[in-house]
Amino acid sequence: MPPDDQPPVRLPPEAMTTWLVTPAPLTGARTAKHALVDATRALVNAVMRLGVDALDADGVAAVTALAGEVGGTAERVAVLPRLRGSVGDGSGDDARLLERSGITGASNPLSAPVHLQILGDRVVGWAEYAEQYEGPPGCVHGGFVAAAFDDLLGAAQTLSGSAGFTGTLTIRMVRPTPLRRRIDYEGGVTGVDGRKIRTWGRARCAGEVVAEAEGVFIAPRPDGR
């Protein structure tokens, strides 16, 4: 059989139900990390919204002092046990998508996060975006809109029994996605054509569609290529 005609790799049950789209069990240590992540998100938002034009000399001194304190906190975190290499290539609960992703990861302070779960033949989720995700005034940056769909459809593709890398991602911005409002997501599989997994997704705010997406994911061959 020519290499391009090889069937896609099928995911093992544990990858389908555990590693890809389910959250990690909440141990005491993980709960503590999530609390640190939430505090870091709050810090990012507070720093982003800092109005430097209104600072007087005392304010500048206060911000300079804060920079030193935050740097010291980063050094204290850095001496604690650390993950080695790529998190996604690792094993255990830290490798789960819903822990590590910059879009959906509960342990990643870059994420909003987008909360995802499998519900029957769909993946559903929700998010609320703070000001650090702003593009047009009062609205989510289009890059973050697209990134959320990449994770949503990446999770949805697993419903086919296979999974692969993003091949194409087409986004239709129906209307601006607002900040500080709940955004609801849903996505699923349109069909499978060889190693191509075709997916769909949409985002709503208060019941109105704000964006739609179609994605094609390419499952690897059995030889890993």
Q: Give all domains of the chain, ordered by start, each with its CATH number.
A: 3-25+83-218 (3.10.129.10)
Contacts of 174 (CB under 8 A, 6+ apart): 209, 210, 211, 212
d(CA 225, CA 4): 10
Q: In 3D, which of 203, 195, 194 has the Cα closest to residue 220?
A: 195
Structure tokens at 165: 């890398």
Residue 211 has pLDDT above 80, yes or no: yes
pLDDT of residue 221: 78
pLDDT band of residue 220 (cuts 50, 70, 90) is confident
In angstroms, rounded to a whole number, what is the distance separating the alpha carbons of residues 139 and 142? 9
How high is the mean pLDDT of the chain? 90
The string of pLDDT tens digits covering residues 153-200 is: 999 999 998 888 999 999 999 999 999 999 999 999 999 999 999 999
- The position carrying tokens 């939430």 is 38
Judge contact between 107 and 99, C-beta under 8 A. Answer: yes
pLDDT single digits (tens) 38-83: 999 999 999 999 999 999 999 999 999 999 999 999 999 999 998 8
User: Measured between alpha carbons, how far is 139 from 203 in angstroms, rounded to an integer?
Assistant: 14
Predicted local confidence at residue 136, as pLDDT: 97
Beta bridge pairs of residue 196: 193, 218
The pLDDT of residue 77: 97
